[in-house]
Amino acid sequence: MITSIFKEHKGFGKQIFLLAKNELIKTYKGAVIGPGWAVVKPAFTVFVYWFAFSVGIKTMKTMHVNLGSHDPFSIDFFTFMFIGIIPWFFIQDSIIQGAKTLRTNRQFITKVKFPVSTILTYTALSRLYVHLMLMVLMYTYVFFAIGPSWYNLQFFFYCPLMFIFFLALSWSTAPMSAFSKDFESLIVSIMSGIFWLSGIMYDSYSFQEPLKFIMLLNPINFFANGYRNCFLYHRPFFLYKTELAVFLAEFIVVFALGIFNYNRLRKKLPDVL
């Protein structure tokens, strides 16, 4: 039972990549700039936040990040926000689209025999392509604005971890959303709130205890700060041990719950969709 998700993926790898590619085509076909839209929307969002905070509310021009040393780490707001918001775009899409995926791909569940959990994988993979495209843009900026560093390579730690974490989360949320549209709406409606509760626009390290610890419970902070570890702070991922430990504990819980919920609801999906 525990291994049903892995069993469904076995031997299906090539198809998953093909289906992911087609998921992208489905999203962007018929538009003049096609996949360019995957960049336009986040770029405009970044511009709006920068404009609102740095030009509108004039106070946010420089960020002072408390990394535990004597002097705070100072950086201009745009760079700080830009590096943190790139993983957020992936996270946001993963949570919202991940929850909706089974409903939108119901033809594979109610009409034919299909390894259902791979639906979650190939749609997640198509979002990863978009994320990597944005990463190319971001890294170009980082390369010239901050300069390259060996710490940049930690991206290959954070990014796969982020992919798996939110995939495992969708093992729970997707079947539950397929069951109840209320659950799906619930997720969609709390998303913009979650954005402001995460340290994307501000620095979650700068709070006083116990708030600083409470912020660690939000896995989104782990990734926003993680990307900043790679590209901005140039810190190893294991430096802040409490943060890593809290995240890993959450990871195990989400993973186990995902397998539990998927197995619990998988066989009922064809009846409710």
Q: Does 183 bind another protein (CB under 8 A)?
A: yes
Size of the site for another protein (CB under 8 A): 30
* 199-258 positions binding another protein, by CB under 8 A: none
50: which 2 tokens? 């920068």
Site string for another protein, 96-125 (x = CB under 8 A): -----------xxxxxxxxx----------
Q: Does 190 bind another protein (CB under 8 A)?
A: no
Supply the minimum distance, in Å, between the C-beta of residue 38 and another protein: 16
Hey, what's the torsion of the CAs at 198, 203, 209, 213, to 10 degrees? Answer: 40
Q: Does 171 bind another protein (CB under 8 A)?
A: no
* 4-63 positions binding another protein, by CB under 8 A: 11-12, 14-15, 18-19, 22-23, 25-26, 29
> 58 or 267, CB closer to another protein?
267
> 21 or 234, CB closer to another protein?
21
26 DSSP β-pair partners = none
User: What does the binding site for another protein look like in residue numbers (CB under 8 A)?
Assistant: 11-12, 14-15, 18-19, 22-23, 25-26, 29, 107-115, 176, 179-183, 267, 270-272
